[in-house]
């Protein structure tokens, strides 16, 4: 398949804001896409080269791309940078420079989707000496083979800046429409496999029957079931009496997969953090008494083995981010896992079982020890008893409690009424940083005002909801700036556009209607709670949730 066909689709999608039109366009396109290219095309449509759970990364930044564009168009790097400044987009700049290029095209063959995918896989595998030069070589080869329009989207794809406004829901509905299958089954498959391309292949070949047979697989992360917020214990007990009340540990949610001799740890954003926690890998291998299993729990950084009070979240983030000094950090920042669910056991998908049944299986399968524990819980229909347990959780230094329906199945990727969280602090929002402003005076080297956005789950767009500029320490300004610097897409004066990647947990005084921001609302006095290293942009809060908070 020629890449020009995909580029033309991208251009059409970029010009429409109608979700129905987008769904129709994508349906028509994938109906003509051969089986072997379907996974690749669907990944490219979402602006990705690899599935979310893959450890492969392209690792291409603007500077390297500018070098490639400069070389292929015979323009100086300064000319490329000036063109980007004028156009406000590196893809559009590349397209214009490719139109103006005077050098003879190096290739007569046309660029194909297969060629793009092959080159990008090779590019991701490069490391060591001269890898940068070889990466430029692969990019230059593709730009030489493609037309200017293809160059626009190729550059954006490589830089993960495609931004077509195509959300997961749009692609899901397109798959359901073209292959005449149940959209709910497509969504279920996506949550269990985390790869719409693979799910589309199953839908095309085996229809609803094949989708129903999709199951979990150790070593392949799944999307977690999400909790809803409850105001108080009485509210929970009206929906499920009795309920299972668990401590809401102040850490990060992890899936631990055991398959044969292999142990794998994944965060809720599907990151593989196995290497960062060797002590958990070792104990899991010994204390999960089965050949294969997928268990779920909360990973918490603690003060010490004797004092299990949680450390500040930043301590845990340090361990997650570090791929070096691992042995040293194991000693400096001890952690423990508190397990609360089992989803898969020796070939059996347990998601259809009730929670209490799964919990009893977990207790039979896992031998709890010092740093590999079963979470504390009670079963009660008495609000007073639940409140005593809640206060115990707070005294231990944790966030509050979880309340679960004892008979509920596990719905991966869904925020259903089976699980509720009760926290002792006001409800916060997880927001994506999409812009910033450079500071002045002693803060001139830091970004000191951050434009925050919600996620529109249908379109994949980011809807601004306010700026956060006060209440941060110098250390926090420095830390956030270091995270955002590599993500700068465009700068005009002191204002910078940021690639959506960093998620911040934000508190606020109230939510007001406002035409100033894309969401139609503005946060009053937003302030930083913490950087959510454990969350990706797909975990950010939505406009729907913001409206729910307003209506409460």
Indicate which CATH number applies to the domain containing 33: 1.10.3260.10
Are 225 and 418 spatial neighbours (Cβ–Cβ below 8 Å)?
A: yes
Residue 551 has a pLDDT of 67
Same domain, 329 and 466: no
Number of structural domains (the chain) is 3
Alpha helices in 333-489 (DSSP H): 355-365, 383-395, 474-484
Cβ atoms within 10 Å of 242's Cβ, excluding its own = 17
Same domain, 352 and 385: yes
Of 423, 438, 463, the position where a domain reaches its end is 423
The verdict on 433 and 413 lying in the same domain is no
Query: Which residues are designated catalytic?
Result: 248
In degrees, rounded to 5, the angle at the alpha carbon of residue 253 between the alpha carbons of residues 289 and 262 is: 40
DSSP of 420-434, one letter per residue?
EEEESS---EEEEEE
* Predicted confidence pLDDT, tens digits, the chain (552 residues): 999 999 999 999 999 988 899 999 999 999 999 999 999 999 999 999 998 888 888 989 889 999 999 999 989 999 999 999 888 889 999 999 998 874 445 456 899 999 999 999 999 998 887 888 999 999 999 999 999 999 999 999 999 888 888 888 899 999 999 999 999 999 999 999 999 999 999 999 999 999 999 999 999 999 999 898 888 899 999 999 999 999 999 899 999 999 977 999 999 889 999 999 999 999 999 999 999 999 999 999 999 888 889 988 878 888 888 878 899 999 999 999 999 999 999 999 999 999 999 999 999 999 999 899 999 999 999 999 999 999 999 888 888 999 999 999 999 988 788 999 987 656 789 999 999 999 887 777 899 899 999 988 777 789 999 999 887 888 899 999 999 998 988 888 889 999 999 999 998 878 888 889 999 999 988 999 889 988 888 889 998 888 877 765
pTM of the complete model beyond 0.95: no
Q: Is the peptide bond before 242 cis (omega within 30 degrees of 0)?
A: yes
Same domain, 55 and 101: yes
Report the pLDDT value the prediction gives residue 107, as an integer from 0 to 100: 54
- Burial state string for 360-376 with b = 16 or more CB within 10 A and e = fewer than 16: ebbeebbeeeebbbbbb
Cβ pair 335, 265 in contact under 8 A: no
Q: CA 133: distance to chain centroid?
A: 30
Q: Are 464 and 355 within one domain?
A: no
Count of beta carbons in the 10 Å neighbourhood of residue 308: 17
Please indicate, yes or no, whether residues 418 and 441 belong to a single structural domain of this protein: no
169 is a domain residue: no
Same domain, 39 and 72: yes
Return the CATH number at 495.
Answer: 2.40.50.140
Looking at the domain assignment, is residue 462 inside a domain? yes
Say whether both 122 and 234 belong to one domain: no
Specify the long-range contacts of residues 103-111, CB closer than 8 Å, at least 24 apart: 103/72, 103/73, 103/74, 105/144, 106/141, 106/144, 106/145, 107/141, 107/144, 107/145, 109/145, 110/2, 110/3, 110/4, 110/145, 110/146, 111/2, 111/3, 111/4, 111/142, 111/145, 111/146, 111/150, 111/154
In a domain, 180, yes or no: no
Does 414 lie in the same domain as 270? yes
Residue 246 within a domain:
yes
Enumerate residues 6+ apart whose C-beta is below 8 A from 228.
415, 416, 417, 419, 420, 421
Q: Are residue 149 and residue 259 in the same domain, yes or no?
A: no
Quote the domain boundaries for residue 302: 226-423
Task: Report yes or no on 166 lying in a domain.
Answer: no
Distances, alpha carbon 538 to alpha carbons 159, 183, 432, 443, 454, in Å: 18, 20, 10, 31, 10
Q: Looking at the domain assignment, is residue 220 inside a domain?
A: no
What would the pLDDT profile of 18-69 be if each residue is shown by its tens digit? Answer: 889 999 999 999 999 999 999 999 999 999 999 888 888 898 988 999 999 9
Q: Is the separation of the CB atoms in 517 and 502 below 8 Å?
A: no
Both 84 and 108 in one domain: the answer is yes
Same structural domain for residues 7 and 146?
A: yes
325 within domain boundaries: yes
CATH code, domain carrying 302: 3.30.470.30
**Alpha-carbon gap, residue 488 to 127, rounded angstroms:** 24
Q: Alpha-carbon distance 430 to 239, whole Å?
A: 26
User: Domain boundary at 158, 175, 210, which?
Assistant: 158
* Residue in 505, 460, 48 with CA at minimum distance from that of residue 270: 48
Flag whether 67 is in a domain. yes
Whether the Cβ atoms of residue 124 and residue 59 lie closer than 8 Å to each other: yes
Sheet with 243-248, edge to edge strand ranges: 226-229, 415-423, 400-404, 243-248, 377-380
């Amino acid at each position: 398949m020629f890449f020009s066909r995909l580029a033309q689709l991208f251009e059409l999608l970029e010009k429409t804001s109608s979700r129905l039109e987008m769904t129709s366009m994508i349906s028509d396109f994938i109906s003509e896409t051969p089986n072997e290219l379907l996974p690749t095309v669907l990944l490219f449509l979402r602006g990705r080269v690899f599935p979310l759970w893959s450890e492969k990364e392209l690792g291409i930044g603007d500077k390297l791309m500018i070098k490639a564009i400069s070389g292929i168009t015979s323009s100086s790097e300064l000319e490329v940078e000036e063109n980007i400044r004028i156009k406000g987009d590196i893809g559009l700049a590349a397209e214009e420079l490719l139109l103006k290029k005077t050098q003879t095209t190096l290739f007569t063959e046309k660029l194909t989707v297969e060629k793009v995918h092959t080159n990008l896989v090779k590019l991701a595998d490069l490391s060591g000496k001269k890898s940068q030069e070889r990466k430029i070589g692969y990019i230059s080869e593709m730009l030489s083979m493609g037309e200017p329009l293809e160059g626009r989207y190729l550059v954006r794809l490589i830089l993960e800046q495609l931004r077509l406004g195509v959300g997961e829901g749009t692609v899901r509905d397109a798959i359901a429409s073209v292959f005449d299958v149940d959209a709910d089954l497509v969504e279920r498959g996506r949550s269990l496999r985390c790869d719409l391309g693979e799910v589309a292949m199953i839908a095309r070949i085996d229809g609803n029957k094949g989708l129903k047979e999709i199951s979990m697989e150790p070593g392949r992360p799944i999307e977690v079931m999400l909790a809803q917020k409850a105001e108080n214990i009485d509210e929970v007990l009206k929906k499920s009496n009795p309920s299972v009340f668990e401590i809401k540990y102040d850490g990060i949610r992890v899936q631990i997969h055991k398959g044969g001799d292999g142990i794998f740890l994944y965060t809720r954003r599907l990151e593989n953090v196995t290497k960062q926690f060797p002590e958990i890998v070792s104990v899991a291998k010994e204390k999960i008494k089965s050949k294969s299993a997928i268990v779920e729990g909360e990973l918490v950084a603690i003060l010490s083995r004797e004092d299990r009070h949680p450390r500040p979240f930043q301590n845990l983030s340090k361990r997650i981010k570090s791929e070096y000094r691992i042995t040293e950090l194991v000693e400096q920042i001890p952690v423990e896992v508190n397990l609360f669910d089992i989803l898969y056991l020796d070939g059996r998908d347990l998601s259809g079982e009730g929670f209490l049944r799964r919990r009893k299986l977990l207790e039979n399968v896992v031998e709890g020890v010092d740093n590999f524990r079963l979470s504390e819980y009670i079963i009660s229909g008495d609000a007073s008893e639940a409140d005593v347990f809640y206060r115990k959780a707070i005294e231990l230094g944790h966030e509050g409690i979880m309340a679960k329906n004892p008979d509920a199945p596990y719905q991966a990727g869904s925020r259903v009424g089976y699980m509720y969280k009760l926290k002792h602090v006001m409800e916060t929002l997880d927001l994506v940083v999409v812009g910033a402003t450079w500071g002045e005076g002693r803060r001139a080297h830091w970004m000191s005002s951050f434009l925050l956005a919600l996620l529109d789950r249908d379109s994949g767009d980011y809807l601004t909801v306010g700026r956060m500029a006060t209440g941060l320490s110098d250390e926090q300004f420095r830390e956030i700036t270091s995270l955002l610097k590599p993500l700068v897409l465009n700068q005009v004066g002191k204002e910078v556009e940021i690639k959506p990647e960093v998620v911040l947990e934000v508190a606020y005084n109230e939510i007001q209607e406002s035409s100033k921001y894309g969401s139609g609302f503005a946060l009053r006095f937003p302030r930083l709670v913490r950087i959510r290293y454990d969350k990706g942009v797909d975990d950010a809060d939505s406009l729907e949730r913001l409206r729910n908070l307003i209506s409460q």
